Amino acid sequence: MSHSHLHPIYAEMPVTIFEHMSGLARDLGAINLGQGFPDGPPPAELLRALTRAAMEQSHQYPPMAGLPELRRAVAGFYARIQGLDLAPESVVVTSGATEAIASAILAVVAPGDEVLLFAPAYDAYAPLVRRAGGKPVFVALKPPVWAFDAATIAGAITPRTRVIVLNDPLNPTGTVASPADLALLAGLCVAHDLFAICDEVWENVRFDGRAHASLLAQPGMARRSVKIGSAGKIFGATGWKVGWIVGAPEVAAVVGRAHQFLTFTTPPMLQWAVAEALDDPAIAPGCHAQWSVTRERLIAGLKQQGFCVLDNVATWFTCIDLHASGIALDDRTFSERAVREAGVASIPISALWEGEGRPDHIVRLCHCKNAAMIDEAVDRLGRWRTELKSS
- From 47, 44, 24, select the one nearest 35 (Cα to Cα): 24
The string of pLDDT tens digits covering residues 64-106 is: 999 999 999 999 999 999 999 999 999 999 999 999 999 999 9
Euclidean distance between CA atoms 68 and 66, whole angstroms: 6
* pLDDT at site 1: 47
Mean pLDDT in residue range 188-192: 98
3-state class (DSSP) for residue 318: strand
Mean pLDDT of 354-367: 93
Least confident of 37-41, 170-174, 221-225, 295-299: 37-41
Rounded Cα gap, residues 284 and 20, in angstroms:
30
Smallest CA-to-CA distance from 159 within 194, 133, 134, 184 is with 194
Rounded-to-integer distance, Cα 229 and Cα 217, Å:
15
Report the alpha-carbon distance of residue 216 to residue 196 in Å, rounded: 8
Q: Looking at residue 13, what is its pLDDT? A: 87
Contact 382, 50 (CB under 8 A): no
Mean pLDDT, to the nearest integer, of 170-183?
Answer: 97
**Residue 183, exposed/middle/buried by CB under 10 A (0-12, 13-18, 19+)?**
middle
Task: Answer whether residue 3 shows pLDDT above 90.
Answer: no
Instruction: Give the model's pLDDT for residue 2.
Output: 57
What pLDDT band is residue 4 in, cutting at 50, 70 and 90?
confident
Determine how many CB atoms are found less than 10 A away from the CB of residue 184. 18
Query: Which of the two residues, 268 and 15, has the higher pLDDT score?
Result: 268
- Judged against a pLDDT cut of 70, whether residue 280 lies above it is answered with yes
Better-scored residue on pLDDT, 5 or 312? 312
Whole-prediction pTM value?
0.96
Lowest-pLDDT range of 3-7, 67-71, 155-159, 282-286? 3-7
Closest CA to 114 of 79, 138, 84: 138
Distance CA 145, CA 175 (A): 8
Please give the average per-residue pLDDT across 234-240, as a whole number.
97
User: Averaged over 377-389, what is the pLDDT?
Assistant: 95
- The mean of the pLDDT values for the chain is 96
Mean local confidence (pLDDT), 273-297 = 97
Q: Quickly list DSSP for 103-170.
A: HHHHHH--TT-EEEEEES--TTHHHHHHHTT-EEEEEEPPTTTT---HHHHHHH--TTEEEEEEESSP
For 343, which DSSP code?
Answer: S
| Choice among 79-88, 91-100, 305-314, 353-362 with the minimum mean pLDDT | 353-362
Which residues, other chains included, contact 54 with Cβ-Cβ below 8 Å and sequence gap of 6+? 269
